[in-house]
Homo-oligomer: A and B are copies of this chain.
Amino acid sequence: MGRRQLWDQDEVLASAMRLFRHRGYLGASLRDIEEATGLHPGSLYRTFRNKDGLFHAALDAYNERVVRHRVRVHLLEPADPLAGIRSFFTSAIETGAEPDPGCLLTNTAVESFTLPEAAPGVHHGLAAIEGGFADALTRARNRGDAPPDLDIATTAAHLLALYQGLLVLVRAGRPRTALHSVTDGALASIGTLRNPRKQDDP
């Protein structure tokens, strides 16, 4: 063996993630990263190869911990799926004491031209959210809370777009009341997209 690693990789990734969420990839310098993680460049480059490597690890950790956790808590587990979708949206608006940390998927998608190799990670996270919506919508339909001919795939994609847009508006500093009404609109729009299996009133 040899000397043992003095730092916890999960903690380091958590603080790096927080930094990238706030400042973006380009906005976070290695001096910032050193300060945030407490790691010196040597250890950093030994473990993560370079800044890109650390970012990818942070993005994976974001998908694995933050996204997955939020999807599970708000979209997969709640007994009332529509209430879960609502809380999924509202929890993105009410970020608590510290200012909005931003969604690493949204930020990275926008920075994509300077970070093309991060695309798979972004896709993965977005797909997880979309899948969560689809699950919640399916359960809502089975419970009778949504029309039986609801187009689940399209509605899930619709909610994903609306959610990403909401995050942009949060970052833009829009008043919270306006953002909450977007959430109301998201819920109200569920059920408007039907499968054209049987045309009732054209």
Residues of A at the B interface (CB closer than 8 Å) are 22-24, 26-27, 102, 105-107, 109-114, 119, 122-123, 126, 154-155, 157-158, 160-169, 171-174, 178, 181-182, 184-186, 188-189, 191-193
CA distance A174 to B164 in the complex (A): 13
Contact A111 B27 (CB under 8 A): yes
- Chain B nearest CB: distance from A168 CB in Å? 4
Nearest CB to that of A161 among chain B residues? B165
A172 proximity list for chain B (CB < 8 A): 105, 109, 112, 119, 122-123, 126
Q: Are A184 and B154 in contact (CB under 8 A)?
A: yes
Shortest distance in angstroms between A134's beta carbon and chain B's nearest beta carbon?
13
Pick from B110, B171, B193: contact of A184, CB under 8 Å: B193
Which chain B residue shows the least CB distance to A192? B188
A119→B162 contact, CB < 8 A: no
A-B contact pairs, 5 of them (CB 8 A): A26-B27, A154-B181, A155-B185, A160-B165, A160-B169
Interface contact A112-B173, CB-CB below 8 Å: yes
Contact B110 A168, beta carbon cutoff 8 Å: yes
List B contacts of A106 (CB < 8 A): 110, 168
Instruction: Enumerate chain B residues within 8 angstroms of A160, measured Cβ to Cβ.
Output: 165, 169
Chain B residues with CB under 8 Å of A105's CB are: 172
Evaluate contact between B184 and A24: CB separation under 8 angstroms.
no
